[in-house]
Structure 1
Amino acid sequence: MEKTKGINRARFLAGAAALGVAGALGTTGRAGATDAAARRGLRHRGVVYTVGEGETPGTAWSAARMRADIRAIRDRLHADTVDVTGDGVERLTATAAEAAERGLHVWLQPTLGDVPERDILEHLAETGRFAERLRRQGASVDFSVGCEFWLFVPGIVPGDTVLDRVRNLIEGTYDPQKMQRRLDRFTAKAARTGRSVFHGPLSYAAAQDDRVDWTLFDIVGIDYYSFFPHPADHVRELRRHLRWGKPLAITEFGTCAYVGAPETAGMGWNVVDYDKDPQEIKGDLVRSEHIQAAYLVDLLAVFESMGLYAAMAFEFVTPDAPHRPDKPRYDLDMASYAITRTVEDRPGDPRSGWHWEPKEAFHALARHYARAAGHCRGGR
């Protein structure tokens, strides 16, 4: 997706699902028997890995860095799945191929946005053809046709950019019925395109309150950012997505690393003043990696208890949100959903090299994923 006023796809995707406007789409579901609740444990445990151009020369995509990251996801995070998402067919396919080569389950999801429908569908088809080649070669692959189309695809909601569309949704300057018809039309078109090139399990990543015809897909995919004080409330909310009698994948879940972030229900990114140069944190936030880690682990326990198909934490790294421990007002990592913190070699220099360091959330997920993998190998 093209960058808009400094907010890239990685930052915006996490927040948009919980804006409240998605609730205007309503909910639906066709009753269907499922034995998911009777099982225990997730089939796939993973992390979202976003590929993109990068906002600065220093954060531009690197094949060498990607390969090292995929190894870390397998060997250090102990994930068995990587959700490869973003735009750029070459970046998507190179990353998916690396993940498959390393023996990881691949959830491949192109998310080109803010371009004509024709371009989005061509990008989808080309990525899907590669996913099918991987599948035929024996890789474990699920293919998602995209993410929250009402947000990223022009013409469903008025507005030329993501921010324009969100603004119109918040201000109510749109027709809900017309929006739903357009959304249904494009979703069906994307599903047909996906089916035409990929013959394995097909899915789509919807905001948790979207109305989707899940008969078009094999796996229900939900970006989930709710906050409840009790696990039973999460179970109650998620259970309605099982009514279709299909596997349920949590295509994104997570929060930011500051006090109060989980309670924002996905709006944690909205504490950065993107109009400032340099961008800065609004207010007096208190950094807390522990809160981020606890939220992730608590949700994983819910997903495990429900026997869901997959859960992918959002996200592995956000290069354009660097950590500045010496200057909290510029510590953009606090507003990042990443389980690693980006550390610049030369803070403030757009051409600076950088590296990531694991946050508490990384270590918490790694312990959980390692235990679960050992339990699975033990023949539970």
Structure 2
Amino acid sequence: MSKSFFVYNFGCRVNMAETLEIRSEMLEAGYEESEDQPDIILINSCAVTQKAEKEVLQFIRSKRKEFPKAKIIVTGCAAVKWEGRKVPINIEKIGKKKIDSGKNIYEESGRTLIKIQDGCDQFCSYCIVPYLRGKPKSKKIKEIIREIRNIEVIREIILTAINTDLFGSDNGENLTDLIKKILDETEIERLSFGSINQNSINDDLVKVFQSPRIVKYFHIPIQSGSDKILELMNRNYKVEEIRGKLEEVKKLDPLTFIGTDIIVGFPGETEENFQETYKFLEQSSISRFHIFRFSKREGTLGWNLENKLGAVPESVKKSRSKELEDLGKRKYQIFLEKHIGKTFKALFLVKKEGKYQEVLLENNVPAWIETQKDFKGQIIEVSIENLRNRRLFGQVPS
């Protein structure tokens, strides 16, 4: 009788891509997938913040209690961080798994993730990732093309990386050439990115993004709208540079969807610095924010900065986070309103609610389409008719 397994994922889309590859390898090795009675529980972990690491530990404890006889194997960033340390749970740590190219098995929605790059040597002062992921390592373009060709019945490829700026820095290739090769040598219908770092955005990249096969969505992790805080973060760019890149990206299409990550409460962030960030976001073409309260990570430069400059009180972090979240909701609402009365090619996903099925539009914006048929995994033209509770609704034109 073959052993059973189940894989759980925490963290970023790079982690998700690795989790899919782990799952694929387990299935190909003859293991059976079972969430109800697993002999082996694999957990791909995250340690980017103290909260993320705590959630992983809590999850491990719950699974140990639920399945006392199962073998629990933890990989990913938290496992690397825990190497050589005693963890108060009976688990096996295998560190950061070496991921080989191979066939991904993903969801019925016709999308999958492919990791194109790992590691980072930029050492932003708040970030623990370079210490856990190591030096930049890129897949060769020919390997990525082969991987895409081996995937069956997939409409959209989502390329993921720890830092897109560093793709090809170790092998002489570059991101724009990768995109061109994918468009020229594969028949994939939709190509998108988990995130794109600001220094990856240049004239050549914007030009290749004009292809109708590329999803008009940019998640650009800017982190702050204050030059002083960006310098303390060791981000190596200024706010004015970001403004210029956002303007170029928006020229692709008025409905290009732009999101970002912002950290509030970084050591040394005054109310004036925060207001600079608020004003920058308010005036920018960014429509969705992911807000993080600064979480110091031992061993990073940010840990020392907090000791030197002092910590921003948690109550202030919470208040600033709430202000930006409210701004983000208003901006997202305004952005969604611009879709009403327009038609889009949409990828139908698995999720349904009553007579509606979830889709992703050409710019990665989610919507709900009224239909009696199940179109999951198909790309079909839809019309957007109204907006309710920050959700777009529409139908398939007759």
Instruction: Determine if the TM-score, normalized by the shorter chain, exceeds 0.5.
Output: no
**Greater per-residue strand proportion:** 2
Larger relative contact order (C-alpha < 8 A, sep ≥ 6)? 1
**Greater per-residue helix proportion:** 1
- Greater radius of gyration (CA): 2
The TM-score with structure 2 as length reference comes to 0.35
The TM-score with structure 1 as length reference comes to 0.37
